[in-house]
Amino acid sequence: SHLEIPQQSRKTLSVVGQQAPSRPSAEHAEQILLHLLLQSIPNSHSGMQLSVPAQTAAPYYVRRVETFIREHAREQIDIEDMIRAASVSARSVYLGFRRFRNTTPMAYLKEVRLNLARQALLEAPAHKAMPVTGIALDCGYESPSQFSRDYRARFHETPTETVRRASRSETLSRDDAAG
């Protein structure tokens, strides 16, 4: 008999057809196969809206913007800079990030900056702690208070608490090594 492939599965297949030159991993292929089976064959999950994972292969312009952000996160960049780096329309950049990364370009920039800052804060005790404000500015933030709010929302602790915790951890490690 003939197996009818639902519209949602056709979308999944078209996403797979747009893969980057690198081949999908076995895990990714397995997820797609399971998705197709759950959508095509009546089962206890029929009718559920299953979404394609946000980490599917993204178009070149999304990857180009991600690279641009990682390379320039410490600088004062804005969406116009990202659009120029992508060499496509603003709409394409926004829709690409929304569809393939489930975020926006500016939210991605914020995430990269916060991760840079967290790494610097965790390493700060070993390098004679740079003030939190200096780390915020070094990671591309213009406002230390905005940095603190974003940091706390993302990591559920203040930047100062991260430094203290890292410092305590380093002190305990040194004591263990000496003892």
State both tokens at 16. 């797979």
Task: Name the residue type at position 44.
Answer: S
Q: Give residue for tokens 């990591």.
A: 155
Residue the block writes with tokens 């208070």: 145
CB 121 within 8 A of CB 131: no
What does the pLDDT profile of the chain (179 residues) look like in tens digits?
Answer: 444 545 544 444 444 444 433 455 777 777 777 777 666 676 555 444 444 445 568 999 999 999 999 999 999 999 999 999 999 999 999 999 999 999 999 999 999 999 999 999 998 765 565 689 999 999 999 999 999 999 999 999 999 999 888 887 766 666 566 65
Distance (Å, whole) CA 6 – CA 155: 40
pTM, rounded to two decimals: 0.65
Cα end-to-end distance, the chain, whole Å? 73
Question: 140 near 74, Cβ under 8 Å?
Answer: yes
Contact call for residues 81 and 140 (beta carbons, < 8 A)? no
Contact 64, 72 (CB under 8 A): no
Q: List strand residue ranges (DSSP E) for 35-83, in order.
A: none
pLDDT for the residue 165 = 86
pLDDT at 27: 74
